[in-house]
Amino acid sequence: MNISFFVRRNFHTIQAYEGIKAIRENLLEHTALVVQDEHHNHLGVLTTLDILQRPHTLVIDCLSIKPMLSLRTSVDEALLLMQQEQSEVLPVFQEDQFEGLVFKNDLLEFVRSKRQELEAEVNDRIHEIKNIHKQLELSRQVLQAMFDSTQSSIFLVAPDYRIIFFNKKALEVSRVMYGRELRLGDSILNYKLDNGDDVFTSFQINFEKALHSGEQVTTEREIVYPNMQLSNWVRSEYTPVYDHGKAIGVALRVVDITDRKLYELQIDMQTEILQQISWIQSHHTRQPVATILGLISILDKASMTEDNRKIIGMLEQTAHKLDGVIRETVIKANSI
């Protein structure tokens, strides 16, 4: 900002050849007086410091040469010049035309006012930033608690494979499977199982596919841990993550689905057993029943006694009932 807003144009004037005693009180009251000749031409500015440094009788003899300011001079430049010249007031000119006076106190008051405004603004900004920081920290804690409460291992991995985030479950799995702590900034490629080349290769392929296609990639596979003599099934979800349209990495969610897979395997095994039962019922059990019914149909019932005919009738009914049960069993087994 320049000094044009601080120029005082209602200055007090004195004649060059007036006596010092006559203008002393006027000078003390106004701090500075503009000295003019009989034609009202500007000759200089008289201050109390001039009288102390050049104690003469006439005003003209007490004057000292002072640097001139222009309306375009900045406040900082004017204050620096006043400091160097040890002056409380300096004249202002515009194209060799005297415009007025600029007082150091006016500039300092402006600077103090601006500083107070800036300090208040800075304090408001600091308060606002602190509130934002508290909200962000609360959000971070809530998200961290949510991620740590799940039984899935969750990672956020940068395009160069650096680990940006991991949850509590991922840390626990790393301790058990790899015998080491996960660390932010480490490459996830450093965490590899013995004899796990196929798992490692699959991870890289799926990671790159999600990162460059922009779509989620999901896989299910069995992982064998030779050193621990065990295996488990996991479901891995690779989801690309963006910030302002730019991919910053891939979110990896790994879920243990061993129980579900064992259940599915059990269902498959039960289904296979039912199919075998259905086949046995259709081909092995029904054949003897059909044979019994065929033999009954060719018996000469006329030569039998009444009691034998009743017995044969009961046997035929029972065989038909057994054949119906076998048919129903086969139908239900096939529907399952």
Tell me which amino acid residue 173 is.
Answer: V
pLDDT surpassing 80 at residue 168? yes
Residue 87 neighbours by CB under 8 Å, 6+ apart: 47, 49, 66, 104
pLDDT at residue number 162: 94
pLDDT at position 315 is: 83
Does 325 score more than 90 pLDDT? no
Q: What is the pLDDT of residues 110-154, one digit of tens each?
A: 999 999 999 999 999 999 999 998 988 888 788 788 778 888 999
Contact 161, 249 (CB under 8 A): no
CATH number, domain 153-256: 3.30.450.20
Q: Are 267 and 259 in contact (CB under 8 A)?
A: no
Label residue 334 by pLDDT band (50, 70, 90): low
pLDDT, tens digit, for every residue of 7-47? 999 989 999 899 998 888 888 888 899 999 888 888 899 99
Residue for token pair 């000759």: 43
Name the band, by pLDDT with cuts 50, 70 and 90, for residue 333.
low
Q: Which of 46-50, 247-251, 314-318 has the lowest mean pLDDT?
A: 314-318
d(CA 56, CA 228) in angstroms, rounded, equals 106
Nearest 5°: the CA angle 104, 43, 2 is 35
pLDDT of the residue at 126: 92
Q: For the chain, what percent of residues have pLDDT higher than 90?
A: 39
Range 303-312 average pLDDT: 79
User: What's the CATH class of domain 3-108?
Assistant: alpha beta
pLDDT at 107 over 70: yes
The percentage of the chain sitting over the pLDDT mark of 70, rounded to a whole number, equals: 93
Both tokens of 181, joined, read: 């702590």
